[in-house]
Structures are given as C-alpha cells and as structure tokens.
Amino acid sequence: MRPALSGNPMHPDNPLQIFKAAYRYAAAPLSRWRARGKPQAFFFGPRERWAEILALHPERRFIFRTPHISAFEFQASIAPWILSDRRSTVLVEGRAPAFVKQFCKKHRVPLSEIAAAEEKPSSPNPRAGGDIRPPLPSWFRRSGGPELTSALAKRRPTFLYMPWIPEHGDRLIESLADPAYELAAFDLVKDVDDNEIRRNALHFARSQPNLYRRMVIRRLIPLRNQVAGFIFTFDWAPIMRLVVEACRQLGIPTILIPHESVFVNRDLYYVDPTSKASRPLCDVILGWGELQRSIFLERGYPADRFHAVGAPKFDRYFNYQPSLDRDAFHRIFGLDSAKKTILFASQPLDSQTDTAQARQAQRTAIADLLQYARDREAQLLVRLPPSKDDIVGEELTKTIISSGIAAIDDAECYLVDAEEAVHHADIVTSMNSTMLFEAMLAGRPSLSMKYIDFQQIWEQAGIPAACSIEEAIPLLDAALSGRFEHSAEGMAWAADQFGIGRFDGRAASRARIFLTKMVARTAVVQPFEPPVSRLFAARPLDVVSIPGGEAVLDSYQKHLLAQLNARTLVDGAAGLEGIRTLASAEVFLQWGIKDDVGVEAQNAVARALGRSVVIVEDGFIRSVGIGLSGTPGLSIIVDDATAYYDATKASRLETLIERSPRLTTAQRRRARAAIDRIVTARISKYNHAPDRPVALGRPDRPKVLVVDQRFRDQSVISGLADESIFERMLHDAIRRHPDHDIIVKLHPDVIGAGRSGYLNEELLERFQQEHDNLYPVRIDINPFVLFDLVDEVYVATSGMGFEALMAGKMVRCYGAPYYSGWGLTQDTIPTPRRTRQSTIEDVFHFAYIQLSVYYDPDLGRRVELEEFLDYIENARAIAFRAAEASESV
C-alpha cells in the first residue's frame, strides 16, 4: 500500500511543488503502460473509512484523500497519479465533485460513488408546514472549540468574528487586535479555510436558512452575556446575514468592517443575487469612505450609523517594507529577477457578472499576457483569488507551467502576501481587482484588462483600461519602460472615495479606537429597531415579501413598495420550497386576513425564520377611482396583529385606542382639523362619485340611511356580522322609523363592478312590496350627499359609518367595526375588550394618521395626510372636469 496522502498536498514544504506536478504529467504516459504490481485505486472520503475500504479491496493499492479538495489541487496533485496507471479506479463517498466526474469521463477512468457509512434507509421526518427535516451538516460544530473557550476564559471584553477567507476577512480581523479586548473566532464551521467546506456552508445557509438559523442561535445563546459584540467583514450573504439577525434577537451588538468595495456594477454591489439583500444589517458600519457611504445611504442605511475610518487592507501599503529582495522573490517562483514581471490578479467574479463569461475573459487575458511576455522577453505571475476558485483551468495551467516564463501563486498555499507580490511586480494587471489600486498605492503601474463590459471605477482613479490585447500592448510597453505616471487627481479622488481624504496607514487603528470605546462604554452602539417597528416609523426596509411578489406591483397596488418605503419585493408564495429566495425578507406582508395557498406557504416560511407577518389593507381614503376599476390604491393601513376590521382578536389599532396615552393637544388639534377638512371637502374612501344634490324619497319626510356591503366581504365576516344581520338591520330601520324614508346605499363595487351585495334585489323587492318608504340608491353618489339628507345611519361594519360620525350623524352598528365600542356609536354587538371611552379624534388619529400610509403619484413619494388631501381634491377636480367634457362632446 502506498502511503496515504495525509494533509493537503498543495500546502508543500517545497515551493516548487507546482513544477513537480508538471514532471508528474510528463512522466505519466511512460508509467501508464509499464504499470506493475496491484492496480491503483483512489478513495476520496473520511479517514474513518480508510481501513474499511482497504479491507474490502485487498487486490488494489490505495491512495487515500479526505473529500474536501479543490479542482486545482486535484488536477495538480492527484490527476497525474491516476493517469500513471491505466488500471486506475476512483471511489468517492457520496456525490463526486463535477470536476472529478469530468476528468474520469474524459480519461475513461472507472468512477464509483458509494453511500456514506451512516446513511441508512429511513422515512423522511415531516415537519410543520410540510418541510422535510434535513440532516445537520458534518461541518457544524455544536459547541465551542478550545480557542473560543480559552478566549472567553480570560474574562476580558471579547468580540466574536466568523472566520471565513484567511487572506480577506480574516486578515482584516487580525489587524484589529488590541490589548483592550479579545478577538475570538465563532467556530460554527469546522475547517472553514477549506474551500469545499466553505462552499458547502454557503450553499447550506442559502438553501436551508431556517435550519442554519437554528444552528446559529443554538451556538450564540450561551455566549450572549459573555461578548461585547460580533464583528463582520460582510453581511449581505445568508451565511453572515442570518448570524447578524440572530445577534439582534439575542441583544449582541454587531459591527460591520467591510473587506470589499470593488464592484463592476454599482447597482449590484453588496447585493445577494438570490435573496436580494442589498443593505447592511449590522448595527454600525466602520466603512472605507464616501463611496460605500453614499451607496449604503442611498439604500436606506442610517447616516448616523456609518463611520468612515478608511480601508484597513490599504494600511499595509503605507511605508511598506518587503520581506524578500527581488532575487529571492523571483527565485521561489522559478522566475528570473532580471526580467520584467507582469502580475495578473484573478478574481472569482461570481456575484455581479456572468461568471462563466467573466472567467473565460480572464483566461483569454492571461493567455494574451503570456504571449506578450514571450514577445517582450518578460514573465508572468498569475495570482489566484483567495476564494481558491480555479480561474485558470486545466489547459491554461499546463501551458503556464510548461512555458518557462510564468508561474502561478495558488491560494491553497500562497507563497507571498499580496503586498509582496505587488511590490516586486513591474506592472499589476487584473480585470477589476482591488490590487489595481493597491499597485497605485505602492507606486507601481497598473492596467485593467477590461475584456468584458462593466462599470470600471478605477478609471476615475487614473488607472487605464484595455478591452483587448491590441489596446493593452502600448500601455504595457509604456509601463515596462518606465513611462507611466499615476494621476494626482485620481489619487485625490480615491482618497475621498476609499478613505477619509488620505491614506495614512491608520484605518485599522481608527477601527480599534472605536472598538475600545465600545468596551469602555464611551461609545454606545444602539441596536436597530425591529423591522416591524421601522415599518410603522416609516423608516426604510430592504426586502419585504408578499404572495405574488412583483406581480402585485403590476396590479392595483403598483405603489406598494414606495408606500412601505422598501427596496425589493419577493414572492412569499414560493414557500418552504423556495425559502432561499425569502431568506432576507425583513417583513412578510399579507393582503387581508383571508387564507389561500400562497398565504399559507408564506406564513410557513415566516414561522420557520422567526419573522413577523404584517396585514395590509386599502386605506380609508383609497383613491379617486374604485379598486375594481383598476385604479391603483394610494393609501394603505398596516397592522401586525390582525386586520384593522377583525373584531375576533385585538388589532394594533384597537390596542392603540384602548391603551395609548391620551392625545396631546397638538395631536387632537391636528385630528380635528383633518376631520373638518374631510367633511368640508366631502372626501370619502372612493372619490369618483358625483357630488351634487339628488332627489330621494319624499321631500317632506325625514330620512335614515341603511348601508349595504359587498357580499362575503371579509370585514363583514371578521366584524361579527353575517347575512341575517343585514336583513335584521333593514327591518329594524323600518320598524323604528315608520314615518321616515329609508334610503338604502348599495356598495360602489355592486353599482360599478357588478358584484353582489347583502341587500340584494330580491330582498329589496320583498321589503318594497310591504313598505312604501324604501328607496334603494343604485347610482354612484358621494356619501356626503346622503349624509346631508339623513338623521341617522345604520351599518354593519362599513367604513361609511365612521364617515357619518365625522359628518355628525348618529350611527347604529350591527357588526363590530373598528370604530364601535368606544362610546361613539349605538352598538348591538358587545365588544368587551374595548373599555375606554374615546373621542372621534382619538379613533381618527390612530386609524387615519398613525397607522395609515399615503402616496402622492404626482410627487412620487409618501406624504402626510394633509398633503394627500390636497392631491385627492386636485385629482378629483381634474377627473370631474374630464368627465364633464366627455359628456358634452
């Protein structure tokens, strides 16, 4: 048996490991047909199974490897061994990575995927809501490891952080070390610096956010009273964002110190492509400079929570002292220090571009640079990204290795830091890496190989861009001959956009000072308000969910996003099966309280993620036209307990009226002024109906009004009324007022949209046969025209009842609308929860002002009630003039 390949073969003691791979490939054809002894076999799986596999296949010589391996590592260190024996076979526990499958298919190597040892046939365990309980991932660490335990045992102020990419976020965290506090790794993910494990964790958090959230909370609960805060280097992806949310729920302050700022599209920067999160969630940001600040503030992040400190990653270039001289640097890569060196910094470019197109463009650029280096007797060093993505690919890797004038610095084991590579390069190239600007800080020329179209911010810093090798050649020639100078104006622009007006090497120091003040309690980080509180306070939201998603905006609720002050709407009807798209929804919205399949699916997700559901309904002054005519709603009322009209339980509106402190003098005056204006301007829920005197009933008789409603309207059902109530209401009105004319107002949707009402034609005809004082109103008419005629109004739960109260009429309620039970109406149904004697101003303030949202389509923004009344009056007047002109033609 050949010795097992323990550890990671791409973490070599010998810095020329990559050239050893070239030798192995060269020797493989010779060894392939001279193989002796037992056939080779390769097993990729956990160490616990190595002995078992060996016992099952004694006829083979095994090379064992743990399952977490990158494509580059496989091609460089494993593939040559497989090719060296034509009898080789490959065994993989579980599903083989795609690159292993492709390799085996191409070279006709037998591949077997064997079941994991712990896998046993079992019935799925259904959870509430129809979810199927997935297994916990093997990388999940259920309790703190020794490093975290040791840090907490020191009894010093401690900030947690989530280890991620060592050369990116983790290196930034290292720069924050300070004697005033401890930095402790929140070791949720075992072996997190392994690229495949990290990818698995990313995928798991995205596809199973409900389970991942539970894992995070389980680990954080014991730590909540032992830490000063949690530091993040990004929080747009679910892997981090769900940790931020858990911290918020547990009262742990969160601090974002971004490690990234480069983007190829401003609109896509800091945007999660799946869940649509686009704004930081942390309590405070210690950001780079004006560019980040302007983007985050445009997306609704509070200005007072953003503190510019500069970019810690740029500190390292201030008075940088190299670790190697030029000869030593080039020697470890097998390059010639006498030749000019072109550094190419590759990128994953997996979130803001077409990834396949962007990576192919990088390979083309690398190949072009390699040919340029041959033509100019220069050399090329390709630096792979810290994410360990295989950007170069197998074919180009072989070309680079065999060229004799090029080398690759692989993230599996970087030989040098980025600063060292930039320092020794004669020019730095990349598609869009920050290293282009880092070269500028280091006084080196840089060139963007802009082989695909994107917004290239570095040009504003004076860094040139080339869209082809033909454009690049003169720029490369100038740089390598010393004829390149950076722009002073460009550096000044960059200092403002990526710093605090200067690059002084003290960005990390400023961040440390802030953290030190936190532990000393001289800087207090206030927690963000919960999303529902922000909704009611009209503060910006990032992502909200509603069944139907953006399709709702194409209907009569086209202004909903602006009314909610939210950026993005996602479709809650995707349910648990589509939970990955809902992971960043801060609030789940439901139109009304009637359940359907979409609502039930969304509510299952809200429960799984621990998020709030908010009920949305048309406002009390909805629009000029009616909803069923297609007129978009201009006002809404929101409630996080139930719909405002639901008398079966306490709504937020009911609770506010019952329990809030008495209105201030200013609030009461505002409410009274708005009521008086509504009555004077004769503004109603719908404002399309003519406002002119009509002859109804007998001119010498007093009148009462009975208000019909749309059949099976939810406000009737939830308002404790039913079909029999309407017949009883009409009967009582006739019985109590035998000498009055009984005016019956049909609902606008019954008149204009052909819907059915409770007081249908058959019922009305029956009453009219027995009573000659019954007068149905079958035309659209402004409600205030009717109020002018009547002494009393009968309603079940209609909003016209409150309008009648504003007009000074006595109102009898046969259901339990939101305005009954407060001493304002004559009630037939008891409402024992409502014990407070309230004024009409009290009810109006909470219903029309505090919980209602108004939108002016002319201004394109939310407005206060008074501004909205201006709009309604003007829009109504325009609509009436247009109608009159149309009639006269």
pLDDT digits (tens, 9 = 90+) for 497-514: 999 999 999 999 999 999
Summarised one tens digit per residue, pLDDT across range 20-36 is: 566 566 666 656 555 56
Summarised one tens digit per residue, pLDDT across range 585-641 is: 999 999 999 989 999 999 999 999 999 999 999 999 999 987 666 789 999 999 999
554: helix, coil or strand?
helix
Sign of CA dihedral 492, 498, 504, 510: positive
**Same CATH fold assignment for domains 17-114 and 531-657:** yes
What is the DSSP code (8-state) at residue 661? P
Q: What is the pTM of this model?
A: 0.81
Summarised one tens digit per residue, pLDDT across range 365-420 is: 999 999 999 999 999 999 999 888 889 999 999 999 999 999 999 988 899 999 99
**Right CATH number for 664-875 from 1.10.10, 3.30.70, 1.25.40, 3.40.50?**
3.40.50
Please name the residues in contact with 434: beta carbons below 8 A apart, sequence gap of 6 or more.
260, 261, 262, 313
Per-residue pLDDT at 13 exceeds 80 = no
Summarised one tens digit per residue, pLDDT across range 526-539 is: 999 999 999 999 99
- Mean of per-residue pLDDT scores for the chain: 90
Alpha-carbon 753 to chain mean position: 39
Please name the residues in contact with 318: beta carbons below 8 A apart, sequence gap of 6 or more.
441, 503, 504, 505
**Right CATH number for 531-657 from 1.10.600, 3.40.50, 1.10.3470, 3.30.70?**
3.40.50
Report the CATH architecture of 326-487: 3-Layer(aba) Sandwich (3.40)
Cβ pair 65, 42 in contact under 8 A: yes
Angle at 458 between CA 268 and CA 312, to 5 degrees: 80
- Report d(CA 38, CA 35) in Å as an integer: 9
Determine which helix (DSSP H) or strand (DSSP E) holds 361, and give its type and residue range. helix 355-376
Q: Which long-range contacts (CB under 8 A, 24 or more apart) does 106-111 make?
A: 107/82, 107/83, 109/82
pLDDT confidence band for 124 (50 / 70 / 90): very low
Domain 17-114 has CATH 2.60.40: no
Domain 146-315 has CATH 3.65.10.10: no
Per domain, the residue ranges of the chain are: 17-114, 146-315, 326-487, 531-657, 664-875
Angle at 709 between CA 704 and CA 711, to 5 degrees: 145
Cβ pair 774, 746 in contact under 8 A: no
Q: Which one-letter amino acid corresponds to residue 676?
A: D
In angstroms, the first-to-last Cα distance of the chain is 99
> b or e along 114-125 (b: 16 or more beta carbons within 10 Å of the residue's beta carbon)?
eeeeeeeeeeee
- Report d(CA 345, CA 364) in Å as an integer: 14
Q: What is the full DSSP assignment across 110-129?
A: -EEEE--TT-------B-GG
pLDDT at 133: 60
pLDDT confidence band for 60 (50 / 70 / 90): confident
Query: Of 45-49, 551-555, 694-698, 871-875, where does mean pLDDT reach its minimum?
Result: 45-49
pLDDT at 20: 56
